[in-house]
Structure formats: structure tokens, C-alpha cells
Amino acid sequence: MKLTKKIHACVRLEKDGRTLVIDPGGFCEEDAAVGAEAILVTHEHPDHFDETRLRVALEADPATEIWTLKSVADKISTAFPGRVHTVGHGDTFEAAGFDIQVHGELHAVIHPDIPRITNVGYLIDHGRVFHPGDAFTVPDQPVETLLVPVMAPWNKIAEVIDYLREVGPQRAYDIHDALLTDLAWPIYDGQIAALGGTDNLRLTPEECATL
């Protein structure tokens, strides 16, 4: 399986000539989802869900389909009947040749005064990759590669480290990182690597890794 890091929380997975993209939101490349057979969206926040980017991908290829939670599906399903599938915690399905399990229900707390929205994570191919969206969801089975959200209004580095320890993946790759500056990277890299208990790796946008 090939993992390509896109900007912020978006990643591209390729296997056997088929392509899956997760969270092509408003921070990532405009064509991040183009060419994907399947697109997964974790929640409705604009850095994860961008209707324009999804429309570009769906219009470019009539075979492209989307799997997402109800709050996102309601916004785009009318325009693309039969191509937008609603999923929730506990669901399993196949998309672009990948076996996918849905984990989680709520976005992490940003502030007690801000209502929590729904959020789901996607476990790919029985634990080979897990993308949690905006939450510290722990799947109920081992994870080989965790895509770990390292910087957000809803987390702090101590929570990121504890999340890595709790999931215990073989390796982790940083996502949700567009707000980090070059000055901050060495601090985050050093602390997470020293305390997270696993190999924590960082890819620059368009850089790839073989899983």
C-alpha cells in the first residue's frame, strides 16, 4: 500500500492500481481528490470537507463515490444521487478495493461552550491504517499505521502523546499539521518521538511512504 501525504489532514492511499482519498478539505490541494475511485470524509469542518473539491472529483470521474457521515452527506447527496453513501460507527464496507470499518461518533471537545459535532474515523484493511478525523478515537483492534492529528484547536501535545501510547501503533505519521510553523516542528517532533512510544514520522506534502 502506498501512502501519499497531502496538505493538512488529507491523505491518498493506493493499492493494486486503485485509489482512496481521505479528507480533501479546504486547506489541501484543489485537485487532491481528483482521480480517486473512493473518497472518505470524517466530518463537516471546512479543513476536512470542502464541497468544491468534492464536486471537482465527482465531475471528473462519474465512477467516483463518497462515503461519509450524515451531516456531510446531506449537503452533497442531492447533486450526486447514488454516489454519496452515509456511514456511522460500527459500519463496514468496501471502497476502491479497501476494506473499511467506521469508528467513533463525536468530534473532540474544542471548548465546553461549543457544541460537539459528529466525527468518524476510518480503519483501513483491518488495521493497516487508521485516520481518526478530529478525535482521539481508539479502535477495538491493533493498528499498524496511525495517522495522528498533531496540532489543532482541540488538542495539546500531551494528549497527542497519550493517544499514541493508548493506540500503540507500529508507526505513526503526522496529519492535521497545516497550522504548525517551521519553528514548531522540531519541538513537536522531539517530544512526540521521545514520549509517544512508537516511531513517529513526518511526510511533507506529496511525499510518499510504502506501508
CB 174 within 8 Å of CB 148: yes
pTM given for the model: 0.97
Closest to 117 measured CA to CA, from 182, 82, 67, 72: 72
Contact partners, residue 31, CB within 8 Å, separation at least 6: 53, 56
Homologous superfamily, domain 2-201: Ribonuclease Z/Hydroxyacylglutathione hydrolase-like (3.60.15.10)
List pLDDT tens digits, range 33-90. 999 999 999 999 999 999 999 999 999 999 999 999 999 999 999 999 999 999 999 9
Q: What are the angstrom distances between the C-alpha of 25 and each of 30, 33, 196?
A: 9, 9, 27
Phi, psi (deg, nearest 5) at residue 62 = -65, -10
CA 17 to chain centre: 21
Q: What pLDDT sits at residue 111?
A: 98
Q: What pLDDT sits at residue 91?
A: 98
Closest to 175 measured CA to CA, from 7, 4, 3: 7
Q: What pLDDT sits at residue 27?
A: 97
Q: What residue ranges of the chain have pLDDT lower than 70?
A: none
Closest to 54 measured CA to CA, from 25, 93, 97, 74: 25
Q: What pLDDT sits at residue 75?
A: 94
DSSP 142-184: --SEEEEE---TT--HHHHHHHHHHH--SEEEEES-TT--TTT
